[in-house]
Amino acid sequence: MLTKSSSLMRLVGELKKLPGVGERTALRLAFHLLKSPGNLTALSEALVDVKEKVRACSTCFAITENDPCAICSGNRDAAAVCVVENSQDLMSLERSNAWHGVYHVLEGAISPLSGIGPSSIRIAELLARVEAGGVSEVVIATNFTVEGEATALYLTKVLKPTGVKVTRLAHGIPLGSDIEFVDAATVQWALQGRNEL
Amino acid sequence: MLTKSSSLMRLVGELKKLPGVGERTALRLAFHLLKSPGNLTALSEALVDVKEKVRACSTCFAITENDPCAICSGNRDAAAVCVVENSQDLMSLERSNAWHGVYHVLEGAISPLSGIGPSSIRIAELLARVEAGGVSEVVIATNFTVEGEATALYLTKVLKPTGVKVTRLAHGIPLGSDIEFVDAATVQWALQGRNEL
ipTM over 0.85? The verdict is no
Query: Taking CB atoms and an 8 Å limit, are A32 and B48 in contact across chains?
Result: no
Instruction: Say if residue B48 is in the same domain as residue B141.
Output: no
A120 assigned to some structural domain: yes
Convert the pLDDT of each residue in B5-22 to its tens digit: 588 888 999 999 999 999
Assess whether A38 and A74 both reside in one domain: no
Q: How confident is the model at residue A176 (pLDDT cuts 50, 70, 90)?
A: confident
pLDDT band at A1 (very low <50, low <70, confident <90, very high): very low
On whether residue B58 sits in a domain, the answer given is: no
pTM, two decimal places: 0.72
Q: Stretch B60-80: mean pLDDT, rounded?
A: 90
d(CA B175, CA B51): 35
Give the pLDDT of residue B15. Answer: 93
Q: Are residues A70 and A153 in the same domain?
A: yes
Is A70 part of any domain?
A: yes
Domains identified in chain A, total number: 2
Return the CATH number at A42: 1.10.8.420
* Same domain for B157 and B98: yes
Determine, yes or no, domain membership for B49: yes
Closest-CA residue of B relative to A88 is: B31
- B92 is a domain residue: yes
B160 domain residue, yes or no: yes
> A71 and B28: CB-CB below 8 Å?
no
% of chain B exceeding 70 in pLDDT: 92
pLDDT at residue number B106: 95
Residue B3 pLDDT:
54
pLDDT at site B185 = 74
Angle subtended at Cα B164 by Cα B161 and Cα B170, rounded to the nearest 5 degrees: 110
Among A183-187, B17-21, B69-73, B174-178, the range scoring the smallest mean pLDDT is B174-178
Residues A37 and A82 in one domain: no
pLDDT tens for residues A111-159?
989 999 999 999 999 999 999 989 999 999 888 888 998 999 999 999 9
Measured between beta carbons, the chain B residues lying within 8 angstroms of A91 are 2, 27
Same domain membership, residue A191 and residue A145: yes
Is there a contact between A51 and B37 if contact means CB atoms under 8 Å apart? Answer: yes
Residues A40 and A87 in one domain: no
pLDDT band per the 50, 70, 90 thresholds, residue B130: very high
Same domain, B68 and B47: no
Q: With beta carbons under 8 A apart, name residues in chain A contacting B25.
A: 20
In SS3 terms, chain A reads as CCCCCCHHHHHHHHHHCCCCCCHHHHHHHHHHHHHCHHHHHHHHHHHHHHHHHCEECCCCCCEECCCCCCCCCCCCEEEEEEEECCHHHHHHHHHCCCCCEEEEECCCCCEHHHCECCCCCCHHHHHHHHHCCCCCEEEECCCCCHHHHHHHHHHHHHHHHHCCEEEECCCCCCCCCCHHHCCHHHHHHHHHCCCCC
Q: Do A107 and A11 reside in the same domain of the chain?
A: no
Q: Give contacts of A24 with chain B, Cβ < 8 Å.
A: 181
- Using CA atoms in the order B106, B112, B116, B119, what is the torsion angle rounded to 10 degrees? 70
| B41 → closest Cβ in A49, A51, A64 | A51
- What's the mean pLDDT when you consider all of chain B? 87
Segment A159-171 mean pLDDT: 89
Q: What is the pLDDT of residues B177-191, one digit of tens each?
A: 677 777 777 777 677
pLDDT > 70: percent of chain A: 96
Give residue B26's domain range: 2-53
B14 closest CB neighbour out of A18, A27, A42: A42
> For the ranges A14-18, A65-69, B28-32, B193-197, which has the lowest average pLDDT?
B193-197
Instruction: Return the CATH number at A123.
Output: 3.40.1360.10
Q: Do B143 and B102 reside in the same domain of the chain?
A: yes
The per-residue pLDDT for A58 is 92
pLDDT, residue A42, reads: 92
Q: Are residues A49 and A76 in the same domain?
A: no
The answer for B 72-101 residues in CB contact with A (under 8 A) is: 74, 86-88, 90-91, 94
- Give the Cα separation of B80 and A78 in Å (integer): 75
Cβ–Cβ contact A56 with B under 8 A: no
